[in-house]
Chain A
Amino acid sequence: MGSKLPTNCPESNTLKIGRREFSSRLFVGTGKYTSNEVMAKALEASGTQCVTVAVRRVNLADRGKGCLLDFIDSKRYVLLPNTAGCYTADDAIRTARLGREAGISDMVKLEVLGDEKTLYPDTSETVNATKVLVSEGFTVLAYTNDDLIAALRLEDAGATSVMPLGGPIGSGLGILNQLNVRMIIERLKVPVIVDAGVGTASDVAVAMELGAAGVLLNTGIALARDPVAMAAAMKAACEAGRLAFLAGRIPKKEYGTPSSPKEGLVGR
């Protein structure tokens, strides 16, 4: 593990995704919060500029609850519709089109799952959906597993960003295979955003220290005991991890090397 910066990771302070530029490298989800009020405060504490949302039927029967969009300042946050819950490329493409029509952006977080229990992505369907959506002018941020070849296929298919999971969605297990994630970051030319599995602040720092362009998380904040405090922690961790990455860490060694000089010891 050296301190050389990979070619796809410019030192720029901003993260460029399609036409957008973000100064915050933290992307935050809007699901699972105990209330919209808590969500709004947590988003603010996180410093994020881009929040994911899901696309679902309007609840025509129960109109009582406040609308999510009432709690998200559209001047402050870019909305990133996801295709969560889709298990086929067709469903994901359909959902992406609806999301673009409901919002104002071409960006989509493409998620095509292959298994209900692990929520692991279906690579083949995700690649197919990416090709179609890219041809329709979407800016695709593709959620994937931590396999290098899957990531390369998505980049070849035209994804603007590739988003490997750290661990299963909502698991809080952190970055389970740091080597795999680092390989993806080093090989891909597009920005790599680690998405899923973040449990606490150090997981965000680890991802950024590996050289990730950003981190996307939801559950780690939303279900924390104090989501607003955790959001602030995630913000600090993202910045710390990025600074550490740019500073260039020391290599790991198995044996000790003294930090104080051997010369001039008294009595020798």
Chain B
Amino acid sequence: MQDAAREITVMINGRSRLVAEGESIGKLLDILALARSGIAVEVNRVLVKKDQYDACRLRHGDVVEIVTFVGGG
């Protein structure tokens, strides 16, 4: 019998969120229904390159920022 995946707390765009421990950024984006183009991701203030999304795994307490382009001058 498998143990249920442990949940951890991370901050995403300033809000606390429960995710599966070790979840990848790529999987997180899928869960959030975000396309990979037109966005950028930081974990703990370090930019995560697009080709690293599936390799970058979340740990408890991580601070994630997901940004995109909005109107501006």
Check A58–B73 contact: CB distance below 8 A.
no
Query: B1-53: which have CB < 8 Å to A?
Result: 12-15, 32-34, 38-42, 45, 47, 49-50
B65 in the interface, Cβ–Cβ < 8 Å?
A: yes
- Interface size class on chain A is 35 or more
Interface check A101, CB cutoff 8 A: yes
**When A101-B47, A102-B67 are in contact, do A53 and B72 touch as well, CB less than 8 Å?**
yes
A26-66 contacts to B, CB under 8 A, are 29-33, 36, 39, 52-58, 60, 63
A103 touches B45 (CB 8 A): no
Task: Give the contact-size bracket for chain B.
Answer: 20 to 34
Q: A57-B14, A58-B39, A58-B66 are in contact. Are A98 and B73 (CB under 8 A)?
A: no
Q: Does A99 contact B (CB under 8 A)?
A: yes
A33 lies within 8 A of B71 (CB) = yes
Report A215 CB to chain B, min CB distance, Å: 12
Q: Which of A52, A58, A102, A103 contacts B72 (CB 8 A)?
A: A52
Query: Which listed residue (B39, B66, B68, B72) contacts A29, Cβ 8 A?
Result: B72
A101-B50, A102-B38 known; A69 vs B73 contact (CB < 8 Å): no
- Nearest residue (CB) in A for B39 is A102
Bound complex: CA A33 to CA B70 (Å)? 12
Binding site for B on A (CB under 8 A): 29-33, 36, 39, 52-58, 60, 63, 67-69, 79, 81-82, 84, 94, 97-103, 169-170, 196, 216-219
